[in-house]
Amino acid sequence: MVDVLLGLQWGDEGKGKIVDFFAPNYDVIARFQGGPNAGHTLYVEGKKVVLHQIPSGIFHKGCINLIGNGVVLDPVTLKRECDVVASFGVDVKLNLFIAEKTNVIIPSHRALDKASEMQKGDSKIGSTLKGIGPAYMDKTGRNAIRVGDLLSADFDKQYKDLRAKHQTLLNNFNFTEDISAWETEFFEAVEFLKTLNIVNGEYFINKKLDEGKKVLAEGAQGSMLDIDFGTFPFVTSSNTISAGVCTGLGISPKKINEVIGVTKAYCTRVGGGPFPTELHDATGEELRKIGSEFGATTGRPRRCGWIDLVALKYTCMINGITQVVMTKADVLDSFANLNVCTAYSINGKITDEVPFAISKVEINPQYKAFKGWNCDRTVLKQAAEVPVDMSQYIEFINEFIGAPIKYVSNGPGREQIISL
């Protein structure tokens, strides 16, 4: 049985913390898409750890962690991250497994990402510049190097061929930066990667399922960044939604059970692209300050705004969400008034659907106002302590999106969560 946990907004919903919280209930935690563009924050022994490539179950001894074939893997980031988790006494040789069909990010993918963004100028995506787009392009273009290839005798030739192809593209972009230092660290990291557990991911996970093991598929990015259904072209290059789990791990849709969606109690976005409820005023600044809204991967300030129920209802629909976790509710503790967006006004027409041209039209969000709960919730432990104003906020959202909020997270720590 496979449960899925993924982000319902534009990423950074707190997936890492929630996976870490749920991990003791599972035997396997598996990443099925994305790459080092992800930054999943957890607190271990009181220390902050940000994971980019390794699934967020790595700190639980009983959990096997699988990097699935749908992921794009940068060996350099992986090696660095393995060193970080090793400093907490985790032996990655015991509980980290990598699918041999996982696509590898090579240094020239990062260069291409940078060159492409520079060429786009003001209309750039705001990519994390980790090489994600170019790596997925090589996958669908059928040029990619996969983890299993690193072990084969012709890896050097494959690398040289792909590197040469990239150089032609880089020349077209007039990109002249020297990336030889990146290549040196890449080849060192490849040697390290070859010492890890490289497995046939689809047999590996299906055998676990046959043995009755419980799997949690961990999403990266958010559903509004999905390559098909997000705010295209301001999206990432993979299917971040629940449908991506099957292709990203090699499992049947029949194996999927719960689909758990994570949303903040408000909304953020990092990088370019439409964000209908974005606040450019002091309230937006307040959300960023109280919520410490700065990117876990790039350190960029996150754009902040009210929760967008039009987008949230849409992402619940395309994912088949069965339960919701609401994070960062504590960030709203000091706000006297809250707004939730219930419709978009586009050229004077009201709609409760996400439009095709979301990246091109001007959207005026229509809000319903709520009274804030105005109290310190970080100390709350049980559902009975949830203030009435907060219950009303939650009930309205449940009703609107058609899925129940089952947990409310009220702080970054593992124990700061209430089951409703």
Listed residue (316, 200, 330, 217) closest to 266, CA to CA = 330
Amino acid at 10: W
Question: Smallest distance from the beta carbon of 233 to ligand IMO, in angstroms?
Answer: 9
Question: Smallest distance from the beta carbon of 300 to ligand IMO, in angstroms?
Answer: 7
Cβ neighbours for 215, distance < 8 A, ≥ 6 positions apart: 1, 2, 3, 26, 27, 28, 29, 30, 205, 208, 209
State residue 395 phi and psi, 5-degree precision: -60, -40
Neighbouring CB atoms inside 10 A of 409's CB total: 24
Neighbouring CB atoms inside 10 A of 43's CB total: 18
Question: Smallest distance from the beta carbon of 15 to ligand GDP, in angstroms?
Answer: 3
**Considering 3, 12, 113, 226, which one is annotated as catalytic?**
12
Please say which residue, 339 or 409, places its beta carbon nearer to ligand GDP. 409
Q: How far apart are CA 226 and CA 221, in angstroms?
A: 8
- Residue 62 CB-density burial (10 A; 0-12 exposed, 13-18 middle, 19+ buried): exposed
- Residue 106 CB-density burial (10 A; 0-12 exposed, 13-18 middle, 19+ buried): buried
Q: Is 296 in the site for Mg ion (CB under 5 A)?
A: yes
Q: How far apart are CA 193 and CA 75, in angstroms?
A: 6
Q: Indicate if 27 belongs to the active site.
A: no
Listed residue (412, 405, 335) closest to 370, CA to CA = 335
Amino acid at 156: D
Q: Is 12 in the site for Mg ion (CB under 5 A)?
A: yes
Q: How far apart are CA 155 and CA 251, in angstroms?
A: 28
Listed residue (378, 314, 328, 331) closest to 12, CA to CA = 328
Please say which residue, 347 or 419, places its beta carbon nearer to ligand GDP. 419
Q: Taking CA 411 as the corner, what is the angle to CA 25 and CA 282, rounded to the nearest 5 degrees?
A: 140
Q: How far apart are CA 181 and CA 158, in angstroms?
A: 20
**Considering 3, 20, 27, 40, which one is annotated as catalytic?**
40
Residues 197-236 that bind ligand IMO (CB under 6 A): 220-222, 225, 236
Site track 259-298 with ligand GDP (rule: CB under 6 A), x = hit? -------------------------------------x--
Please say which residue, 105 or 198, places its beta carbon nearer to ligand IMO. 105
Among the listed ranges 23-31, 180-188, 253-261, 408-416, the one in contact with ligand GDP (CB under 6 A) is 408-416
Q: Is 132 in the site for ligand IMO (CB under 6 A)?
A: yes
Q: From the list 84, 100, 124, 126, which residue makes contact with ligand IMO (rule: CB under 6 A)?
A: 126
Q: Is 315 in the site for ligand GDP (CB under 6 A)?
A: no
Please say which residue, 237 or 322, places its beta carbon nearer to ligand IMO. 237
- Residue 136 CB-density burial (10 A; 0-12 exposed, 13-18 middle, 19+ buried): buried
Site track 358-387 with ligand IMO (rule: CB under 6 A), x = hit? ------------------------------
Question: Smallest distance from the beta carbon of 38 to Mg ion, in angstroms?
Answer: 6
Question: Smallest distance from the beta carbon of 291 to Mg ion, in angstroms?
Answer: 13
Please say which residue, 63 or 270, places its beta carbon nearer to ligand IMO. 270
Residues 133-162 that bind ligand IMO (CB under 6 A): 133
Q: Indicate if 20 belongs to the active site.
A: no
Question: Smallest distance from the beta carbon of 45 to ligand IMO, in angstroms?
Answer: 22
Cβ neighbours for 289, distance < 8 A, ≥ 6 positions apart: none
Q: Which does 328 bind (CB under 5 to 8 A by kind): ligand GDP, ligand IMO, Mg ion, none?
A: ligand GDP
CB 113 within 8 A of CB 137: no
CB 67 within 8 A of CB 73: yes
Question: Smallest distance from the beta carbon of 61 to ligand GDP, in angstroms?
Answer: 21
Please say which residue, 12 or 333, places its beta carbon nearer to Mg ion. 12
Site track 28-47 with Mg ion (rule: CB under 5 A), x = hit? -----------x--------
CA dihedral 125, 39, 288, 314 (to 10 degrees): 60
Q: From the list 3, 226, 308, 330, which residue makes contact with ligand GDP (rule: CB under 6 A)?
A: 330
Q: Is 38 in the site for ligand IMO (CB under 6 A)?
A: yes
Number of residues that bind ligand GDP (CB under 6 A): 20
Q: Is 49 in the site for Mg ion (CB under 5 A)?
A: no
Amino acid at 14: G
**What residues make contact with ligand GDP under the rule CB under 6 A?**
7, 11-17, 39-41, 296, 327-328, 330-331, 409-412
- Residues carrying an active site annotation: 12, 40
**What residues make contact with Mg ion under the rule CB under 5 A?**
12, 39, 296
